[in-house]
A and B are shown apart, each in its own frame.
Chain A
Amino acid sequence: MERYFQEEIECAPREKILAIQNEKLVAQVKHVWDNVEYYRKKMQEKNLTPDDIKSVDDLYKLPMLSKADLKAAYPYGLLACPLKDCVRIQSTSGTTGKRVVAFYTLKDIDIWEECCARAIVAAGGTNEDVCQVSYGYGLFTGGPGLNGGSHKVGCLTVPTSSGNTERQIMFIMDLSATILCCTPSYAAYLGESMKEMGLTPEQIPLKAGIFGAEAWSEEMRRDIEKTLGIKAYDIYGLTEISGPGVSFECSAQTGMHINEDHFIAEIIDPNTGEVLPEGTQGELVFTSLDKEAFPLLRYRTRDICTLTREKCSCGRTHVKMTKPKGRSDDMLIIRGVNVFPSQIETVLMKNGYAANYQIIVDRINNTDTFDINVEMTPEMFTDNVAEVQNRKKVLESGLHSMLGIKAKVNLVAPKTITRSEGKAVRVIDKRKI
């Protein structure tokens, strides 16, 4: 029996969802026009006023937003509410050091958590469940989002946050946790660790997992399901739009339902910006329909995927998106964290190294490895081993604080980094996802 958190909306006929979207979009465009000068100017450049947007059919007329706009308007330029109404920020990495800061009112958080609750119920969660949230808590949206969703469902929530594997396993076993929320690579790691401890899938109390924030393959899903003895569900989201729960997987496990009463999804050609017909692969663009504090209209996610509106066996009517197949920019997602090569460049230059580097990402035992080859420069070289090692450590900690994850730096001889057609190959991603 498929369960829903809000059946009347999750299974609503298409006409009803469209009616909700039309109504909310008209109001949202007006809200943004009235309160966000940055976007109003963009609309004026296209000779648009809120009167030009009468329904979802007019959406294509609106200007699009990208990470570059978030950087230009940082930090308060896209805020649509007085600060007194905002209660929280969440943040993710930007392109060149400036972070993306998203604002939330109480209502924004409520809707976000509702979306996460839908995902938990779709994974079989009820108020009888013990839900362990092993996503990071803090600026990262994973922990706070699923934590709130778990509360809404009424699960006993175990906010372990990420890391400390031994303690994670202790709580899963001692409290008989039934739902696990974390990144797929961490789920795989937990599975391996439990297997090493001699725990069989039958002994592990978990029955479902909600895994997102990074790319994972069908093969990895089966692996995790087998070692933990669970059904593993995908979840998708981004800080700019709210966080996890923008879309989520149901029992069919054939794509993620986008919460269309809150977000409109479009697929565009990343080169021309032209809207593509449903079923075509392209870049995913989102419009927040009821965000108060940080309402982004037509935000380019840079994720490449396909939308399908085929009838789903779970009964939900909301459009489904495939797992993102890649990016239309150079962003990498490593261990769930967004990494831009330009960030690495910034740190290298700041530390006296050449901007000539190579990122090597691989996935070994289901965990991402992250190496950066950095060319040695005469400025950073001395005859003293300890000094060279110390400078390397300073670089590594600079990278860690910029990126939020640890990278292993390998010092290499100058001009050894492979170049093709005169241009350095910056990223070697060996992961087979």
Chain B
Amino acid sequence: MAVNQVSVFLENKPGTLNQMTEVLANGGINIRALSLADTNDFGIARLIVNDVYEATNVLKEANFVATFTPVLVYAISDETGGLNKLLKNFTAANVNVEYMYAFAGKKNAYMIFRVKDTKKSEALLAEKGLKSLSQEQIAEV
């Protein structure tokens, strides 16, 4: 099951990132993971949150441009070679990674992957025995 990531457009000037976190905090949104893509002109914040619908609602009300993006989340064991083992399966399944980031849960570490054709990639990886986490599972880990 793909998970919905919230992607947010940020102007490249001081304070915009903080404005976003302020809006999310006031909206009672917990950020589980965050990655920031930046250019000279603008930034894109990518968030995994506990409540994607509420998060986009409060962001839109505060005049942020925010969209959903499907991503795949896999658990890895927090030990040497954990990520390497996971990525070997990506290679074997011939799945290309557009970008990725990580967060630490209570037990495991989790990797978030943005791939081109999410459904197809997920199926290919499933054939290698990899099971991606669902939105509900993410909230609990």
Contact = CB atoms under 8 A, between A and B. Distances in A.
B131 interface: no
A412 interface: yes
B69 A383 contact: yes
B131 to A, nearest CB: 24
B11 A411 contact: yes
B137 interface: no
A381 B41 contact: no
A388 B66 CA distance: 13
Contacts of B10: 413
Contacts of B114: 383
A414 B65 CA distance: 7
Interface in A396-433: 410-416
Contacts of B64: 413-414
Kindly list the 3 A-B residue pairs having the minimum CB-CB distance in the complex, ordered from nearest: A383-B7, A383-B69, A415-B63
B140 interface: no
B39 interface: yes
Given A411-B9, A416-B11, A383 B44 contact: yes
A388 B41 CA distance: 11
A411 B42 contact: yes
Interface in A371-413: 376-378, 381-385, 388-389, 392, 410-413
Interface string A59-79: 000000000000000000000
Given A392-B41, A413-B11, A383 B5 contact: yes
Interface in B39-69: 39, 41-42, 44, 46, 63-67, 69
Nearest to A412: B11
Contact residues on A (Cβ < 8 Å of other chain), bracket = 10 to 19
Interface string B7-46: 1011100001000000000000000000001010110101
B98 A413 contact: no
Contacts of B39: 385, 389
A234 to B, nearest CB: 38
Contacts of B63: 413-416
Nearest to A409: B41
B9 A413 contact: yes
A413 B114 CA distance: 24
B46 A388 contact: no
A383 B63 CA distance: 17
A413 B45 CA distance: 13
Given A388-B42, A411-B41, A413-B16, A382 B65 contact: no
Most chain-A Cβ atoms within 10 A of its Cβ — which of B65, B67, B69?
B65
Contact of A381 (B16, B65, B98): B65
B59 to A, nearest CB: 11
B69 A377 contact: no
Given A383-B5, A383-B46, A388-B44, A413 B65 contact: yes
A412 B13 CA distance: 10
Contacts of A381: 7, 9, 65, 67
A120 B39 CA distance: 49
A206 B43 CA distance: 49
Interface in A263-286: none
Contacts of A416: 11, 63
A424 to B, nearest CB: 15
A377 B64 CA distance: 9
Interface string A133-150: 000000000000000000
A39 to B, nearest CB: 49
A411 B69 CA distance: 21
Contacts of A385: 37, 39, 44
A381 B45 CA distance: 12
Contacts of B5: 383
A382 B39 CA distance: 14
A415 B46 CA distance: 22
Contacts of B41: 389, 392, 410-411
A416 B42 CA distance: 14
A357 to B, nearest CB: 15
A378 B65 contact: yes
Contact of B98 (A376, A384, A388, A411): A384
Contacts of B69: 382-383
B67 A376 contact: no
25 contacts: A376-B42, A376-B65, A378-B67, A381-B67, A382-B7, A382-B67, A382-B69, A383-B5, A383-B44, A383-B67, A383-B69, A385-B39, A388-B42, A388-B44, A389-B41, A410-B41, A411-B41, A412-B11, A413-B9, A413-B10, A413-B11, A413-B63, A413-B64, A414-B64, A416-B63
B20 to A, nearest CB: 10
A416 B46 CA distance: 21
Contacts of A382: 7, 67, 69
A346 to B, nearest CB: 23
A260 B81 CA distance: 87
Contacts of B67: 378, 381-383
Contacts of A410: 41
Contacts of A412: 11
